[in-house]
Structure 1
Amino acid sequence: MAIRNLLNINRKKTKGAIVNRDKENSFPADLMTKCPECKKIHLTKELENNLKVCPNCDHHMKMTSAERIACFLDEDTFESLDDHLQTVNPLKFPSYVEKIEVDQIKTGLNEAVLTGIGSLKGEQVVVAVMDSFFRMGSMGSVVGEKITRAIEKATEYQVPFIIFTASGGARMQEGVLSLMQMAKTSVALKRHSEHGQLFISVMTHPTTGGVSASFASLGDLNIAEPKSLIGFAGRRVIEQTVREKLPEDFQTAEFLLEHGQLDAIFHRKEMREKIATIVKLHGKGGVKNV
């Protein structure tokens, strides 16, 4: 899959779009972007050049999987895996397939995770990047299968596996089949570890539910972006259960780091350099016969 083509999907849809049909006052709909944190408005192009980090408040905005790969891996080295896998409707959930098709058109992806092989500062790696723009990055059977196959590919090639998580959790439309992906991916990671291979988990905003309770938290190194929401159950559910008021920063990356559930928090601008250094320190050679 060509990352450049993926990056251009949404731009093509909005090309020529205008906010006001009055020609004198019209401008492209995607020209400006408002920061959801500080509400300051920025030129979209400048924001993209800044890796979608707000120059005013340093808020890390959501990225598509294609944008993430474009700024993380070496240019033109990414080869996607398992783009042919398709979601079915095992529980006959109303309009489920139709909603999947809408997101496929919107994102250019077959499911809520993009997996593949690429190079990071010259070191071969297998990556999986969850996409919150596809059904909120929820984990269904295809997402679990793609991640599992990517882990197995990394084990086969004896290279590190790196995942960027962004998810609302297990996908309710697939019921227990979605929850089964927690165990399946975890078993694949155990085998990867038994072969002496590295697994780096990078948690981005948000990483919740069954994703946070399985593969996202099983890294040899668990890393997060600043102020990411990371947790299993919702804040209100926990407060009602324990009958206590939780700290304001509860379930943030900073809170988890302070309490030993994360190894590090990396700013998006330093993510590539720091993870590349970790991979090089761990490296045992390149991919064979890719």
Structure 2
Amino acid sequence: MTAFFKKPKRYMPLRQREPKIDAPQGLMTKCPACKYMHYTKQLNEHHKVCDCGYHFPLSADERIAMLVDSGSFEQFAGPNVLRNPLDFPEYEEKLAKDKERTGIEEAIVCGRATISGQPFVVCVMDARFRMGSMGAYVGEAIASAVRRATAERLPVVLFTASGGARMQEGMVSLMQMANTSIALKQHDEAGLLYIAYLTHPTTGGVSASFAMLGDLNVAEPGALIGFAGRRIIEQTIREKLPENFQTAEFLLEAGQLDAVVHREQMRTFLHNMITLHGGGVNRV
């Protein structure tokens, strides 16, 4: 599995130095890590990964299109839950704006698909919607998708990208930590595979629940993963933390992850793991 830790070679270099030009909006994209300006079209062709290794965020639709067999994705209907259980002021208006801006119903998309012919259930969080925060909709969507996978004896792959529990839903949001964990426990007791794939960022109540409950916990390079923020921890323990603290690589070294997998190897890695574990049959 060590091969998945290496940055893959490209046949054509993404980075080609051109003179500075005044580009129309959207034509160029700047890497926040190395500050290089990419042609957006060329960056998209390389799965939105810079030569420096920085992984740009993906939408749920982009992630699914990159992962599953073409035309195989069947999206599950969203759960019927109270959208504003605490009557939080202006919350419903914010949800409506995010829905219009992103084109998705909520911060997660779940469905059934195949990967190189292997059937599985996939859930993908989308940080564009309320920073991927977990409310009643997200929690119940995950729990429902996992229960369906258990009934159909299918493996589950869940991509996390979240700022944590959604503050506008208070305790209802925190209850989703238990809701999702119970569904995953039942999935595990049925002898079925669950892979948690952590992307940048995975924090708060999400990191403390379903994000770290996988039979395999893997992450994209450089992903921020943790519960409390760096400054809060440093102020609490009164110590300076390592520069790479709470990165995917730090957690891998500490034994909290099973692998750090480059995006270009994501599909191959997941197919191999699902096949190795027997797909939709009992794990050995």
Q: Above 0.5 in TM-score? A: yes
Q: What SS is found at the alignment partner of 1:250?
A: coil
AA aligned to 1:34 is K
AA aligned to 2:129 is F
1:165 aligns with 2:173: no
Q: What SS is found at the alignment partner of 1:119?
A: strand
1:39 aligns with 2:44: no
Contact 1:162/1:201 (8 A) holds in 2: yes
Change (3 A) 1:92 1:38: same
Q: CA deviation at 1:94?
A: 1.4
Task: Map 1:23-34 onto structure 2 (within 5 A).
Answer: 28-34=24-30
Determine the structure 1 residue equivalent to 2:223.
228
**Ranges in structure 2 where 5+ consecutive residues have no aligned partner:** 1-20
Q: What SS is found at the alignment partner of 1:269?
A: helix
Determine the structure 1 residue equivalent to 2:177.
182
Name the % identity.
Answer: 57
Contact 1:86/1:110 (8 A) holds in 2: no
Q: CA deviation at 1:26?
A: 8.8
**What's the TM-score once normalised by structure 2's chain length?**
0.89
Which 10-residue stretch deviates more, 216-225 or 74-83?
A: 74-83
1:239 aligns with 2:239: no
1:62 aligns with 2:57: yes
How many matched pairs? 261
Relative contact order: is structure 1 or structure 2 higher (C-alpha 8 Å, sep ≥ 6)? 2
> Which of residues 146, 149, 167 in structure 2 aligns to 1:151?
146
**C-alpha root-mean-square deviation of aligned residues, in Å?**
1.5
Q: What SS is found at the alignment partner of 1:126?
A: strand
Which 10-residue stretch deviates more, 250-259 or 34-43?
A: 34-43
Determine the structure 2 residue equivalent to 1:52.
48
**Ranges in structure 1 where 5+ consecutive residues have no aligned partner:** 1-24
Determine the structure 1 residue equivalent to 2:206.
211
Measure, in 1, the Cα distance between the counterparts of 2:47 and 2:69: 15
AA aligned to 2:223 is S
Determine the structure 1 residue equivalent to 2:99.
104
> Which of residues 248, 268, 284 in structure 2 aligns to 1:273?
268
Measure, in 2, the Cα distance between the counterparts of 1:27 and 1:227: 29
Measure, in 2, the Cα distance between the counterparts of 1:46 and 1:224: 24
Q: CA deviation at 1:87?
A: 5.4
Residues 87-130 of structure 1, C-alpha deviation per residue, up to 9 Å, x if partnerless? 52121211110010011011111110000000011100000000
